Amino acid sequence: MIAEEWLAKQDREGRAAATIKKNRWLLEFAYPIIGDRPIRDISAPEILIVLRKVESRGTYETARRLRSTCGIVFRYAVATARAETDPTFALQGALTTPKVTHRAAIIDPSGAGALLRAIDGFDGQPATRAALKLAPHVFVRPGELRTAEWHEFDLEQALWTIPAAKTKMRRVQKVPLSRQSLQILENIRELTGNGPLVFPGVGNRRRPLSENTLNAALRRLGYDKSEMTTHGFRAMAASLLNEMGTWNPDAIERQLGHVEANDVRRAYARAEFWDERIQMMQHWSDYLDELRVKPAK
């Protein structure tokens, strides 16, 4: 089966196991209907039947991703002379567009200051408190924060290097550490520095905090899921940094781990914005301190 051959190719290329598992899960929606058909004979209406069956469950985003994944398989078949066209191209616009759900986030200065003060008063587990305190300063993705390991940090150089395997874009992400971030890390190192994880879970020092743990901590502080989530620290930073008008928007995007699609521009940006990002991250932490002690009016 061409789809299984493509999945095996992904494995050889070192794609993340979670990515391959997700692609297999998607393709299994199609297998019962078109899995045994010669790939060059499969038509757009046949694929649409598969996608409509997924849509009938109300899972519009899953149907959209399945169409995309099937298209990759068909283009692989074309490249390897097993098919002549990609019939999924004809299905553009045929599927229901999923409603975009924006993650809750506090993006006004006054609200950010109140949240920071609430975090200072959190009286739960030390690792949870430290993760909440660090999150607004570094604004990485929640999974990157929760699974942080001590070997990723060079505290003398004020640098956190997140391995490619942990990032959404599968590219190494470098995070300049402000003085405030370094202090938070130094404090928690006294408690967790003898293990691999910066923020281990309760009862098992070799397992990281769960995202549910951090979101539950925000609930304990009085912020429900419609107001703030752990992921919302990224939107907070993106919004307030852009509003400052001081920083190059591309530098902000690079620090958020958003990868430029154009290879040439990406290589240029990687070299150009590092010094600015170092300055920006220190300025951002200083700004958070100002909001914490003197909320904006």
Residue 245, pLDDT score: 84
- Active-site residue among 67, 231, 254, 277? 231
- Active-site residue among 9, 52, 171, 258? 258
Annotation says 207 is catalytic: no
Whole-prediction pTM = 0.66
Average pLDDT over residues 53-75: 89
Kindly state the percentage of the chain with pLDDT values over 90. 68
- Cα angle 10, 62, 40 (rounded to 5 degrees) comes to 55
Annotation says 268 is catalytic: yes
Which part of the chain is CATH 1.10.150.130? 2-91
- Active-site residue among 137, 234, 254, 277? 234
Provide the pLDDT confidence category of residue 102 given band limits of 50, 70 and 90: low
pLDDT at 101 over 60: no
Does residue 245 or residue 213 have the better pLDDT? 213
| C-alpha Rg value of the chain to the nearest Å | 23
Which part of the chain is CATH 1.10.443.10? 109-293
Provide the pLDDT confidence category of residue 271 given band limits of 50, 70 and 90: low
Provide the pLDDT confidence category of residue 248 given band limits of 50, 70 and 90: confident
Annotation says 151 is catalytic: no
Provide the pLDDT confidence category of residue 233 given band limits of 50, 70 and 90: very high
Annotation says 99 is catalytic: no
Average pLDDT over residues 20-40: 92
Residue 100, pLDDT score: 55
Residue 249, pLDDT score: 84
- Active-site residue among 141, 146, 254, 277? 141
Annotation says 170 is catalytic: no
Per-residue pLDDT of 139-168, as tens digits, reads: 999 999 999 999 999 999 999 999 999 988
> Residue 176's beta-bridge partner residues?
159
Q: Pick from 288, 293, 296: which is nearest to 133 by CA?
A: 288
**Average model confidence (pLDDT) across the chain:** 89
Kindly state the percentage of the chain with pLDDT values over 70. 92
- Active-site residue among 9, 37, 52, 268? 268
40, 151, 200, 286, 293 from 188: Cα distances, Å: 58, 14, 11, 20, 23
Annotation says 137 is catalytic: no
Q: Pick from 285, 290, 292, 288: which is nearest to 177 by CA?
A: 285
C-alpha span between 148 and 274 (Å, rounded): 21
Does residue 122 or residue 249 have the better pLDDT? 122
pLDDT at 202 over 90: no
Superfamily of domain 109-293: Intergrase catalytic core (1.10.443.10)
pLDDT at 169 over 70: yes
- The CATH class of the 2-91 domain is mainly alpha
- Active-site residue among 168, 207, 225, 266? 168
What is the SS3 string spanning the chain? Answer: CHHHHHHHHHHHCCCCHHHHHHHHHHHCCCHHHHCCCCHHHCCHHHHHHHHHHHHCCCCHHHHHHHHHHHHHHHHHHHHCCCCCCCHHHHHCCCCCCCCCCCCCCCCCHHHHHHHHHHHHCCCCCHHHHHHHHHHHHHCCCHHHHHCCEHHHEECCCCEEEECHHHCCCCCCEEEECCHHHHHHHHHHHHHHCCCCECCEECCEEEEECCHHHHHHHHHHCCCCCCCCCCCHHHHHHHHHHHHHCCCCHHHHHHHCCCCCCCHHHHHHHHHHCHHHHHHHHHHHHHHHHHHHHCCCC
